[in-house]
Structure 1
Amino acid sequence: MNTKLKHEQIQYIEFLSKDIVKAKNFYTECFGWKFSDYGEHYTAFEGDYVDGGFTTGTPIKGTILIVLYSKDIEASKNKVISAGGTIVKDIFSFPGGKRFQFTDLDGYEIAVWTE
């Protein structure tokens, strides 16, 4: 298990980008981020204090997706529901684990993932 993962801590951020190649070049030059491509429409990055990704799309103010890590995704989902959050994407599998997405009381969409 990755020792830098902390339960329910912001751990990953996703951006929309019209041009992933330009985004990769920009963030490599600015911050030295390292990238791993997963097909032509997604690239993940690693920085010193944050990991994230870029997916193909038109950037719109407010479209960065904050992703929390959870040691127990079912328990985290139940806490979201109990607190009044709305599940917008139920738990699904992806090549790194599982995740779900919810909106908070202000309508912000946030994701939670586990290995």
Structure 2
Amino acid sequence: MSSWIPIAKAVLPTLAEVAGKAIPAFSGNKEHARSLEAHTAEIAELQGAVTQNAAALRTLAEQLETTVRALDEGARTAEQRLVRLESQLRLTRLWAMAASALAIVALILAQHLR
């Protein structure tokens, strides 16, 4: 779950910027008749917002791709480390069993030599 925190941190500022630019384009007093120039200006403003949204979306997609690559690499590294630690654990168990067996043999010999 915590792997999505960097993604959220990357997305939220962009979404706030997009919303800040898009909301004024749709708000306003609709009761008044608008002139052709006002509509043309709104269309130009919306086209600009769409262009900015596309650029922001492209940036966001690149950041998401980078994040996913980093997560994949981290997962691969963690998996390799886990495999290495498991093999070390098996070796340590063998050494512990050998040491225990040697200690038991030493105790038995010490009892017989008394």
Larger Rg: 2
Report 1 or 2 for greater relative contact order, CA contacts < 8 Å, sequence distance ≥ 6: 2
**More helix per residue: 1 or 2?**
2
Tell me if TM exceeds 0.5: no
**More strand per residue: 1 or 2?**
1
TM-score range, shorter chain: under 0.3
Q: TM-score, normalised by structure 1?
A: 0.19
